[in-house]
Amino acid sequence: MSYENIDFDLLVEEVKQMNSIEGQDRLWTAAFKLPKWHFIAIPQKNINDVRPFIGEVDGRGWFFAFTDGKHANHFAQKQGWVDENGMAITIAMEPFAAAQWLSQHLESGIFGVRFN
């Protein structure tokens, strides 16, 4: 399988038909081949303090990551988290740097990361 220009939405649908371990391996392999992971930035009262959105699912805190800016912007628009031009403020990081950064937050009650 080539991971260049992969359609993650289609991959997720394919993985739903696979056994759990094989599917998770395919998803994570593809995720780490992405050029960037995108996070929606939520501005704080201090304009210089921008933090990534952390959502709650089943009573647990999750980082919401996106495979591209289009997915991040679409989610932010649905939530009303856009600037005056209708665009989301995002943080884009290379996958390995993002994974290290995310792992530093696991002790603060973050359960994991969800994509798109």
pLDDT of the residue at 37: 94
Alpha-carbon distances of 45 from 4, 15, 90, 108, rounded to whole Å: 39, 41, 17, 21
What is the rounded average pLDDT of the residues 110-114? 86
Indicate whether 16 pLDDT > 90.
no
74 compared with 103, residue with greater pLDDT? 74
Residue reference for tokens 């005056």 = 84
Token output for 17: 């038909």
Predicted confidence band of residue 97 (pLDDT cuts 50, 70, 90):
very high
Residue 88 has pLDDT above 90, yes or no: no
Distance CA(77)–CA(82), nearest Å, equals: 6
Do 22 and 29 meet the contact criterion of CB atoms below 8 Å apart?
Answer: no
